[in-house]
Structure 1
Amino acid sequence: MSDERYDFVVLGATGFTGQFVVDEVARVADQEKLKFAVAGRSMEKLQKVLTESSQRTGKELEETPIIIADVKNVSSLEEMCKKAKVVLNCVGPYRFYGEDVVKACIENGAHHVDISGEPQYLEKMQLLYSGKAREAGVYIVGACGFDSVPADMGVAFATEQFKGDLNSVELFISLEAGPDGLAGNVTTLESALHGFAHAAELKPLRKSLYPNRLPRSKYPLKTRMAGFMPDIQKWCLIFQGSDRAIVNRSVRYNYEVNLQRPFEVAAYACVPNFFYLAVTLLFGLIVGILAKFSFGRALILKYPHIFTFGVFKQGGPSKKQMETGTFSITVVGKGWKEKLPDADTEHDTAPDTQMIVRVSGPEAGYVATPIVMVQCACTLLKEISQDKFRGGVYTTAMLFRETSLIERLIKNNIKFEVVKEQFSL
């Protein structure tokens, strides 16, 4: 890649999340010695984003280079990618707008990171473009935001701390609100709705991507749709986001490439009490049914505050909501104290050991996500060796497991910690 390229180009800088990614790039640019540009459809809106980011960050950004690029105009994407070392793609829903950006990056020598939480898009990119990216020496790394770095790297952190063999990992995801509650931008909801609507795509896609099943343990993980979880003393329900899918891809890679024992994964969302659990299940059922139909999706997107109890709304969260929100993901790993030398050798007894780790940080969607995305991009730019990976489509734990990413995140207010050392079940 040419040294004349910008280190980072933030595509979709005028979007709700993109503006905060610009803030974060500006914040770290001096210490990381980065040259960056912003990209989008409107010169006027991009200039406004730079002016507002200057006010928020105290950085002089008005002279930051601007690239006019439209996800519906392939030639503009190609020209943008020729000017970038790493494209930070903030334009969603990715099922509609992501593939052309990935393709342009591969064909024009730019690495690509995104903040998608859409398993269909992410796994389709791996199926269609991993070989092409490898040939081009380009890295395509999806889900580099709250979806799903805390989960994926949290599990990687747990496997490093667990001294025996893991049999299962359960993720318990908590979003804590400040006095003004939680809120998300409607684009995130739109992505989720299309994920529900097209969930049937995943089975044939995964059959093509992974024709061989992973070995199954004699002691399978018992999952529940909802209930009280004694390991963490909270009410939970199955989490429908991308975390489990992302971690499963990393587990498979570690088994097939690094010859590490595979384990089962489950993900749950935590709620304050049984009442919240019951109401969430009821409205989740209603939204899930409506999401199957175009008129239902349109209705939800027209009145998001009604169908989500105000959690999603046009214009996203307020400044106070972003400043006071927090997240935590508790990772409960269960397995055996003894580590067998062969990943395919079965243990003769039930799991006997447990460890709990936690990943936590500031508000998930618009504070933690920009931090995580930018640190992933910095790690990719500065630490990934062509000699080891030679390009391809990866999850974060596939690519960044032996890098400084976790240390970088810790330095930037994303905490990784062991809550309970290994103990007997």
Structure 2
Amino acid sequence: MSSEDTGESRARGTREVDVVLYGASGFVGVLVAEYLANAAPEGVRIALAGRSRSKLEAVRTRLGERAQQWPILLADADDTAALTTVAESADVVITTVGPYEKYGKSLVRACARAGTDYVDLTGEVLFVRDSADVNHELARSTGARIVHSCGFDSIPSDLGVHSLHERARADDAGELTDTTLVVTSLRGGLSGGTIDTVRTQIDVMKADKRLRRIVTSPYSLSPDRSREPDFGKQSDLAVVRGDAIHSSLRGWKAPFFMASYNTRVVRRSNALRDHAYGRRFRYREVMNVGSSALSAVVAGGVTVGVTALMAGLSLPPTRYVLDKVLPKPGQGPKAETREKGHFTLDVFTRTSTGGRYQARVKAKGDPGYQATALMLAESALTLVVDRDALPDSGGGVLTPATALGDALATRLRDAGMEISTRRA
């Protein structure tokens, strides 16, 4: 009898390993494996999983002596039985195999059934919407914490707002209201996997108008959209004056290209917490393009560029050309380039009592590769090592803030990231 039939999961610590890394031979998978080999606490049992034994063995060989006894598990993304074995072998599954709309549904379902915690890197609205609809109640019954978006999508956004909420609550400063994330600085390469994800989502939306409406809804990931506030049209392509965000900011701010996903995750966190951030919590994300008089022109150009890229990928002739020049899945920057990357994100909020606060989330390393590998690995380790410190959210399809919260923030700080708050 399966755990789906019983609604039960096996006791933690009784499985073959603590963590399975699925997709360990892919570009990001290798980075996560290297991080785990160097940073996982002693005694954490890890296995590598994927389609090719030879590729997984080659990765394991590169990881040093500590990893040479790590087991190898074989599973194709469409082999339900093999994925069930992967899920049932571990307390936590990490997966880097995307696009998740194509390759991720069977694995997340297997983890929900088995009561196995799960973390991934998805930035796909439709995949997470489907996962929540299909797996949330099942995962609650088995105790599985299904935690999507544990990389640059969307840990900095989600934990940045979470930290503001905690600070305002500690100061008895009321609820959060207008809140804006500003990408203050960013250096990193464009991921071939991210481009493939965009392609997949465009194809799905073109085939189904209903799905297009879901993607464009600001509350597309909320558990109950009828309970969300009505702020009218909320555009992810708006150009915003800096001083409308905070008096210290100059120039105009451009749309942040990840806002259309990150904002939905943050709003889901608020809804899963019964709108603890605030019933009038309003959230957006923009990026700095300078403070000169030309910043308005640059910000407008960014908007046009993002729109043009999306349109280009949706039309066969231009998509053919773009596919020739954009990064391919599995490709990524060299180690020297990854190490030179960095990001600084500042989140500004006003509370219902008039208080003003600022959070900063900052890290070294290419955001989509080196820093993402750290965040994904530390998310899994939080579920293994720090279970007693996790938020009391139980199982379900959760977010980094609601599933991991301060426990993850502490681990990330210890790993060298900055997550801080101050009055602004």
Shorter-chain TM-score category?
Answer: 0.7 to 0.9
Q: Deviations over 1:227-259 (max 9, x none)?
A: 542333354222342211100101112235x59
User: Normalising to structure 2: TM-score of the pair?
Assistant: 0.83
Which residue does 1:239 correspond to in 2? 256
**Which residue identity is paired with 1:267?**
E
Say whether 1:47 aligns with 2:57: yes
**Stretches of structure 2 lacking an aligned partner (at least 5 in a row):** 1-9
**8 Å contact kept, 2:391–2:403:** no
**Which residue identity is paired with 2:46?**
F
Separation (CA, whole Å) in 1 of partners of 2:416 and 2:122: 22
**CA 1:109–1:128 in 2, change beyond 3 Å: closer, same or farther?**
same
User: Normalising to structure 1: TM-score of the pair?
Assistant: 0.83
Separation (CA, whole Å) in 1 of partners of 2:54 and 2:263: 40
Q: Shift of residue 108 of structure 1?
A: 2.9
Say whether 1:391 aligns with 2:392: no
Separation (CA, whole Å) in 2 of partners of 1:103 and 1:236: 40
Correspondence 1:24-103 to 2 at 5 A: 24-31=35-42, 33-54=43-64, 59-103=65-109
Q: Shift of residue 286 of structure 1?
A: 2.0
Q: Shift of residue 225 of structure 1?
A: 1.3
Q: SS at 1:266's partner residue?
A: strand
Separation (CA, whole Å) in 2 of partners of 1:217 and 1:295: 38
Say whether 1:329 aligns with 2:342: no
Separation (CA, whole Å) in 2 of partners of 1:142 and 1:365: 15
Say whether 1:185 aligns with 2:191: yes
Separation (CA, whole Å) in 2 of partners of 1:202 and 1:270: 29
Q: Deviations over 1:188-221 (max 9, x none)?
A: 1111233345455263484994241324579x99
**8 Å contact kept, 2:223–2:271:** no
**8 Å contact kept, 1:94–1:116:** yes
**CA 1:101–1:287 in 2, change beyond 3 Å: closer, same or farther?**
same
Separation (CA, whole Å) in 2 of partners of 1:408 and 1:119: 27
**CA 1:172–1:194 in 2, change beyond 3 Å: closer, same or farther?**
farther
Which residue does 1:270 correspond to in 2? 288
**CA 1:95–1:354 in 2, change beyond 3 Å: closer, same or farther?**
same
**8 Å contact kept, 2:18–2:90:** yes
Q: Shift of residue 176 of structure 1?
A: 2.9
**CA 1:222–1:64 in 2, change beyond 3 Å: closer, same or farther?**
closer
Correspondence 1:1-400 to 2 at 5 A: 1=10, 3-31=14-42, 33-54=43-64, 59-162=65-168, 163-177=173-187, 182-198=188-204, 201=211, 203-204=213-214, 206=220, 209-216=223-230, 225-230=238-243, 231=246, 232-233=249-250, 235-241=252-258, 242-255=261-274, 261-272=279-290, 274=295, 276-293=298-315, 296-304=318-326, 315-337=331-353, 352-362=354-364, 363-384=366-387, 388-400=392-404
Q: Shift of residue 411 of structure 1?
A: 0.7
Q: Shift of residue 374 of structure 1?
A: 1.6
In the comparison of the two structures, how many residue pairs are matched? 389
Separation (CA, whole Å) in 2 of partners of 1:408 and 1:164: 28
Q: SS at 1:255's partner residue?
A: coil
Separation (CA, whole Å) in 1 of partners of 2:334 and 2:221: 42
Separation (CA, whole Å) in 1 of partners of 2:148 and 2:221: 20
Separation (CA, whole Å) in 1 of partners of 2:221 and 2:181: 25
Q: SS at 1:86's partner residue?
A: strand
**CA 1:260–1:169 in 2, change beyond 3 Å: closer, same or farther?**
closer
**Stretches of structure 1 lacking an aligned partner (at least 5 in a row):** 306-311, 338-351
**8 Å contact kept, 2:24–2:50:** yes
Separation (CA, whole Å) in 2 of partners of 1:196 and 1:22: 31
**Which residue identity is paired with 1:263?**
F
